[in-house]
Structure 1
Amino acid sequence: MKANPGSAAGSPTPVVEAKPCGNTGETVTERALRLRVRQQEILAELGVRALRGTPYPELLEYAVQCTAEGLEAEFCKVMEYVPAENRLLLRAGVGWEPHLVGTASVGADLASPAGFALRTGKPVISNHLENEERFRTPELLVEHGIRRAMNVILQGEGRPYGVLEVDSRSPGEFGEQDIAFLQGVANLLGMAIERQRIERDLRAMVEEREVLLREVNHRVKNSLQLVASMLSLQANATDKPDVRHELREAATRINAIGRAHQRLYRSNDVRVIDLAAYLVDLCADLNAAWPEGEVVARTPDEPVPIATDRAIPLALVVNELVTNATKYAYPGRQDGLVEVCLDQAPEESRVVLAVRDAGVGLPPGFAPHASTGLGMRIVTAFAQQLKAELRIRPLDVGTEFSLVISLQAPDRAG
């Protein structure tokens, strides 16, 4: 067998392995060509799996199996560097006993072939371990009768992950083309490992952000609840009916906002709120503020997700419409019924939110945009902000205010 000058970590290496071809009928050149073609196929398949985001353990298992096949070796392993112990831990492997994966390790010092590859970044070929004088042959290889081995670094973006090693009991020699294939596998694995690490870090950052946002919403809710309680106390302390009335209305508006923040800090997604459940909570608060009457929420059984920045103004609209109904629909009475109904609109991703009463109805010529009352001004302003269609319909008994609204913010490009 003729060897080319040149080495990996100081060892001369041949261009083509000159094994007998047996009874396959292949020449040495044909066999070598077939093997190189298969190696290119393996690299392409591994690259596709890496791009698909194949889970990390599954990708490592696939890589070691394909690498062993591509180099016609009985053993292959990925070893992860453990800095605290200065060792390389067998993280995935083929040919090894299953109990060794996750437990067996080799030294990561320069006297170890794998450690040398890790420390220097240079590939290591040891074709005759029984005569190896440059490195200490790891006990793991001795126990398994390994005669030749190759090691290349698994490099991450900022720090090395570990080493990719292929081992064989059979005679022969690994060459430069084998190292090139092994390094190609290592490069693909390194990129995939780093990509998954970045994705994992990003997910952790997102989760941390979600936790912080929930905490902020919790504190905002508590602060708003405190303000609403102070307004209620002030309302009870005054002997002026109009002041008492205004303070209580202000408290209900603040409670409506606080309810949204309460739902946000309990939710896994602070970007959306279940509108159906939110309206049920809101009506419960309005019932407490109007003990003589009844505010009933009629909503779908399934969740109705809506963007958070749309839910709060919509809740304030409902708050004002219900409050107006309790004030004006039943003159001379303290009791009455107000219904808050949520239904799916004929168009997808749109809902109809209606507030209806069974009171005396609206005065002739009533126009919401011409109203000077604060409550109706709030209703029209938020309806315009939400790009919702505000409708008013007289009933046989009472009045219905309704909004047709998109659950997602409309495109502002136009």
Structure 2
Amino acid sequence: MPDNTIARVHKLLRQQAAIASFGSFALREGDLHKILTEAARVCASGLDVPFSKVCRYRSDENDLLVEAGHGWKPGVIGNVVSRADESSPQGRAFITGEPSISNDLRKDTTFKLPAFYAEHGIISTVDVVIHIKDNQPYGVLEIDNNVQQDYDQHDIDFLTGFANVLAEAVATSARIELLQTTILQMKALVEEKDRLLDQKKVLAEELQHRVRNNLQLIYGMLTKQLDDTSDESGQRGLRAIARRVFTLAKVYENLLGAEMTHTTDFCVYVKSLCVNLAEIQDGNTDNIDLTCDCESMTLDLDMVTALGIIVAELVTNSYDHAFPAGNGAIAVSLIGGIAGMPGRARLTVGDDGTGFVEKIGSKRHGVGLVRRLVEQIGGDINLVSDQGTLWTITFPIATPSTDLPQAA
């Protein structure tokens, strides 16, 4: 195998490990600034560049503020980098929603760059949007280099995947902040209740009864949520990140056992994944049978990663919602060589539970992520929910990773 191929494989593995490691860090850390700073550092390391930054969009000012970064001189973090329009690389990514790649800024005279770019000798940049489900994007994740660099699709996929994990961490941090704000508001209500007790005892008796009952319910919910947040296992809002990081970690583990190639047998991987998914579910799942039937199929790393997350999301969805009585069966199936569909394979995830109706405008993060991943890999997805639930995904199985040089 040529040296450049080996280097590329090691880089891909290192990037996948970086995403998994960052996800674990985000599970434990409650300080959003520390999460953003670590994200900038990991991205710079993962793409072998000296600089990286996370820019937050400010709607009132319509600009992008450098919220955290790596490698910059004092004075950069905390300042505006650009307007949120196409006059800058990060603005263009934010407006279009697509990655913005500038391999050589010296040849692009359309951008208005801040002075610190020249001070740091920035020549090439890559920007991706930090999308938050059903909300306005948080901002932009950018890596910067002081040498000319031609970035490939694997680099873009790494940065995009990392931005998706970071988006989940940002969204979870916002939910935690909302919980903490709610606690303060409830404490203020308690103080107000005490004041009313002193002023009007008759009114206070009724208020005390109603407020006490409501506070017991709300405090019970909030205390459990906060207890989970302080615990390393995380609270419910972080479980989606943990599951996706776990799935990426399984890809990394599987690749290590595949002689460090940039492809792997997806059948071997998905069988191992299903075994672990059955073990990490909440509650008593002893009476729910999870089976996996698949054909040996060698796929590209990026395809395996996307399909692994899809399987994890759909299987977990069945565990969580399909079996109110606590018993049933979930089946994962993978076949290639579909009649009438050359060059495509079929993945199915089904259960014999109560069925699933996907509501328009649903806030369920997992299903939305599944659909985005299917679109990302050029696949199609279909849901049938009459006797149980059956998800069918077809996807291309062309020769994997043709963009990487092959061994002589």
Shorter-chain TM-score bucket reads 0.3 to 0.5
Larger Rg: 1
TM-score by length of 1: 0.47
Q: Say which structure, 1 or 2, has more relative contact order (CA 8 Å, 6+ apart).
A: 2
